[in-house]
Amino acid sequence: MVRRKLSATDTFWLAQTKKLETYASNKGWKVVYTTGKKNSEAHFWAKKLLIEIDIKPEHTFYYFLHEIGHMLVCQNSKAYAAKYEAVYEDFHETSLTHKANRVEEEFDAWKSGRRLARRLGLKVNRREFEKIRTKCLVSYMIWVVNRKILAAQKKKTATGSKK
């Protein structure tokens, strides 16, 4: 694989990402950089953040902020359990209630990550951050309603409706 030379901008974003890595490590979380997964993840009980690096360094930084947001959201286990786990346990994962709660958690993670960047004095290109945040949140919203849309389409097909 041919790697391109890093620009000054890339180096800047990588330095900011390194600061997030240090922050997470200081909180007892392991950071693992991955390739080929096409997404980043937070594994709460293993205290591990998987960060995808096959993307622009600036985007890696924003996804890392989001995953650290998850870390922050779940760091108070009692508050997390009261706000999210109770719903996750009481409602099946395919229910709209469970899915809507999952989307709320995603919003909270983006918000927490953004607040952390401010607190640490890290630069965020607001426009680029919002584009990525919105793309991710919309994908979750589509996931929530997709079941209802598919069911409605099947019903129309079954009844012969042309609307």
Concatenate the DSSP letters of all residues of 70-110 into one string: HHHHHSSHHHHIIIIIHHHHHS-TTSHHHHHHHHHHHHHHH
pTM to 2 decimal places: 0.83
Domain extent for 108: 8-159
Q: Is residue 1 part of a domain?
A: no
- Taking Cα atoms as reference points, which of 49, 86, 89 lies closest to residue 69? 49
pLDDT score of 1 more than 50: no
Instruction: Give the pLDDT band (50/70/90) at residue 148.
Output: low
Give the containing element (helix H, strand E) for 128.
Answer: helix 126-159
Q: Is residue 3 part of a domain?
A: no
Q: What's the number of domains the chain is made of? A: 1
CA 8-9-10 angle, 5° bins: 90
Q: Is residue 30 part of a domain?
A: yes
Between 4-13, 73-82, 114-123, the lowest mean confidence (pLDDT) is in 73-82
Q: Is residue 53 part of a domain?
A: yes
pLDDT at position 93 is 84
Q: Is residue 73 part of a domain?
A: yes
Between 63-72, 82-91, 110-119, the lowest mean confidence (pLDDT) is in 82-91
* pLDDT tens per residue, range 31-85: 999 988 778 999 988 999 999 988 899 999 999 999 999 999 888 777 777 777 7
50 Cβ neighbours under 8 A, 6+ residues apart: 32, 34, 37, 40, 41, 42, 43, 67
Q: Mean per-residue pLDDT for 143-149?
A: 75
Q: Is residue 2 part of a domain?
A: no
Q: Is residue 27 part of a domain?
A: yes
Token couple for 61: 């930084």
Q: Is residue 69 part of a domain?
A: yes
